Structure 1
Amino acid sequence: MHSATIGDLLDREQQRFREMHPHSAAAWEEGKQHFLYGGPSHWMRRWAGGFPVYAAEAKGAHIRDIDGHDYVDFCLGDTGGMCGHAPEAVTRAAVRQLQNGTTMMLPTEDSLWVGAELQRRFGLPYWTLTTSATDANRGAIRIARMITGRDKVLVFSGCYHGGVEEAHVEIRDGRVGMRNMIHPNGVDHSAVSKVVEFNDVGALEQALSAGDVACVLTEPLMTNFGMIPVADGFHAALRDLTRRTGTVLVIDETHTISSGSGGYSSEHGLEPDILVAGKAIAGGIPAGIFGVSREIAERLWAIVPMVNPRVRQSAHLGIGGTLAGNALTVATMRAVLEEVLTPANFELMSANASRLAEAARKIIAANKLPWHVTQIGARAEIMFMPQPPRNGADVIASRRSDLEALLHAFYMNEGILVTPFHTMFLMCPATTSADVDRHTDVFARFVDLVRGARVV
């Protein structure tokens, strides 16, 4: 049996999903009358059931929908909810700041604590707050262009850096094209982007040798195209090549902040010129951050001084916005850094991720399946291929999107939520061993389902 049988199983699970979720189905039909793609965000249409469940409440690592179903949430807002839902410290800080003013375009004393803590955790001295990691990446790219006088941004095929146009490219069939076939949007990507495969030092060296790349924008390890671990020596080569060619190194930790309290970079001694993070950093309140080294700051100040009291200051550097660094975001960010994303909680989260990964590996091995599990920090992923991919080309060649869709639909029917774009599982401080064991049981039954239909 082949893909048609997987399609039959998916049809069955989607039918079961519709029968189990009549209120969410009706809400979705109503939402399509008001929203361009059915929901407040067009991403919400991508759940494998055929429509999203509508959330009634969320607490800790669980979500309850309007049909009364409880889910163990390993999606956690695709990392935006990595602190867990409604963590008490964040709720308390948000309520207090809401009562004292949300946004004034003025700093608060909390910002002094947050700035010092960002410096301590991530090792870079100067920080700027934004409203999203996309905005932080845009700011990093703009600064890199300003100080280098170069136009191009190098990214790795299969990357994801938010809505950054320069990163909307990938290598497919040996040629550079638009990622996921999205619209080019009037941008000449050959003028602004270069793209090479992750872990390919030779291709990276060749791409940087022309001296026209302002910055390399990369995750420490790839997370959005399936988890692609970094090869031994790749980061050392990347840092050496960027320094030798005068290229700014921007490391985007938006997902990999799950690796530890200082992100993957701190855990592994990386030395970015600019570090970006977002999503989880303010406990679910929209926020992003980027930090720069002293050298980058001084090069930027040489172009745009920090303060000239005799000259009216420009409103912006082409980045930012009136809501960036608002008092509510700063207050919740302090609560996250001070009370939620602590070393002790990261230890707990990583232990649960290891527990989930090891249990899944045992089931895979017992059933002699050509699948693997990758786990780094508080994040794990089941992929339907024998070995971890080395780059985006490996993912394109081997990815089983049909099995992924079936897993997602089956999991939702069994009370497990996973980010719909991939099969990645994220832990939060409130995730328990019982939540992990619930996943192990559901995964075992998923394996029984596909083996019974002979579709592996």
Structure 2
Amino acid sequence: AGHSPEPTIKAVHQRIGVEGGITTMMPSADAEWVAADLTRRFGLPLWSFALTATDANRWALRLGRMVTQRPKIAAFSYCYHGAVDETFVVMGPDGTTLIREGNVGQPNDINATSRAVEFNDLDSVERALAPGDVAVLITEPALTNIGIVLPEPGFLEGVRDLCTKYGTLLLIDETHTISAGPGGCTRAWNLQPDIFVIGKSIGGGIPTGAYGITQDIAERVKDHPDADLIDVGGVGGTLAGNVMSTAAMRATLGEVLTDAAFDHMITLATRFTKGVEDALTQYDVPWSIVQLGARAEYRFTRPAPRTGTESAHAEDGDLDEYLHLFMANRGVLMTPFHNMALMCPTTTAADVDLHTRLFAEAVHRLAG
């Protein structure tokens, strides 16, 4: 959505300065409109609001464990779903589940809650689900926080089939991958999640998040009448769905993240990707770049990694620091801990071309 999109600013000012009730938690017309638009974009019929995708993921996982009566979740090595303890996992060389390096304050043995699987490896998914104790498999349609790792043909369809086979719910988190288009990868690739999570961009910078569920899950929730879904059930929060956030979501979805905006952003991301590819070819540098709609990121390996583990092994802190400083000193601010670029509705071809010129200059200096 970019930084401070004008329609979002206008809607928030209207809510704060004219209509009032910043923290009002009652249902609103904006909330109804946003839920309907999320259904139009992503297909899930029922929605609940949060203030972050982290919270949306946490609450959705709790519901998943409740309706399946299973204790574990499965997550891909080097996935990213916010600060959700159960998802900071990697698969060890022998297939064991390990806590991701650098995680802080893990509350218990990760094997009590989680099972790690490898992206683009259906055998690892089946081994994880076969025991029948996994409530939810949580995934991005493409990994995005360890570079961009795209799914191989048939992989996500295979994941869906395995979840169905073993009675595991499939949660698709499109907080980052909405870059693929107005309906994210879910609509573009005809994915069929049981639970869907979105955050960040749909509020244009105002803290927002949401999760959607199928009608089947809603009916299964009703089988647990003793569950306190208002308080200790943890599927809400004091400010979740407040009218300022729903006003921001309505303006951003309705006027910023439009079909036309995505056409513009994806065209620029394609231009950005080609500029990087041309420089890598010219200087024969063994790096790669991957594009996902309006988003693109280069990685210090060729060919592009096919798993999270492969992508993690391609990290190079010195190269990261060099490229970030090189760009920042010349007026281009890259994502601080990636070499990722995300186009927004106000990005211009001139912005992209500046990066292309500077990237080629940086690569030339490195390549000698």
Instruction: Place the TM-score, normalised by the shorter chain, in its bin.
Output: over 0.9
Question: What is the Cα-based RMSD across aligned positions, in Å?
Answer: 1.6
- Aligned partner of 1:147 in structure 2 is 67
Aligned twin of 2:45: 125
Q: How many residues align?
A: 365
Query: Which AA in structure 2 matches 1:171?
Result: M
Paired position in structure 2 for 1:191: 112
- Give the Å deviation of 1:354: 0.1
User: Normalization by structure 1: what TM-score?
Assistant: 0.78
Q: CA deviation at 1:319?
A: 2.4
Q: Secondary structure at the match of 2:263?
A: helix
**Preserved CA contact (<8 Å) 1:229 1:388:** no
User: Offset at 1:173?
Assistant: 4.6
Q: What residue is the counterpart of 1:114 in the other structure?
A: 34
CA drift at 1:184: 4.5
Q: Does 1:261 align with 2:185?
A: no
**In the alignment, which residue of structure 1 is the partner of 2:339?**
423
Deviation, structure 1 residue 170: 1.2
Percent sequence identity over aligned pairs: 45
CA contact (8 A) 1:97 1:328 kept: yes
2:13 is aligned with 1:95: yes
Residue of structure 2 equivalent to 1:364: 280
- C-alpha distance in structure 2 between counterparts of 1:132 and 1:426, whole Å: 20
2:83 to 160, 163, 168: 163
Q: Does 1:375 align with 2:296?
A: no
Task: Specify every segment of 5 or more residues in structure 1 that has no aligned partner in the other structure, as ranges.
Answer: 1-82, 307-311
Deviation at 1:343, TM superposition (A): 0.4
Aligned to 2:166: 245
Residue of structure 2 in register with 1:228 after alignment? 149
Question: Does the CA contact (< 8 Å) of 1:178 and 1:184 recur in 2?
Answer: no
Provide the C-alpha distance between the structure 1 equivalents of 2:330 and 2:26, rounded to a whole number of angstroms. Answer: 47
When Rg is computed on C-alpha atoms for both structures, the one with the higher figure is: 1
1:216-237 Cα shifts (integer Å, max 9, x gaps): 0000000001111101110111
Per-residue CA shift, 1:182-231, capped at 9, x if unaligned? 23433221110000111110111111000000000000000001111101
> What is the CA–CA distance in structure 2 between the aligned matches of 1:230 and 1:114, rounded to whole Å?
29
Larger deviation: 316-325 or 328-337?
Answer: 316-325
Shift in Å at residue 119 of structure 1? Answer: 1.1
Give the alignment partner of residue 259 of structure 2, picking from 343, 359, 379.
343
Instruction: Check whether the contact 2:230–2:236 (CA below 8 A) recurs between aligned residues.
Output: no
For 2:274, give the aligned amino acid. Answer: E
Counterparts of 1:210 and 1:184, CA distance in 2: 28
SS in 1 for 2:152: coil
Is the CA contact 2:229–2:235 (under 8 Å) kept in the aligned structure 1?
no
Q: Which amino acid aligns with 1:148?
A: T
Cα distance in 1 for partners of 2:150, 2:229 equals 44
Q: Is contact 1:172-1:393 (8 Å) kept?
A: no
1:118 is displaced (CA, Å) by: 1.1
Which runs of 5 or more residues in structure 2 are unaligned? none
1:287 aligns with 2:208: yes
Give the structure 2 partner of residue 56 of structure 1. none
Q: TM-score, normalised by structure 2?
A: 0.96
Asked if 1:182 is matched to 2:103, the reply is yes
| In 2: Cα distance, 1:161 partner to 1:314 partner | 24
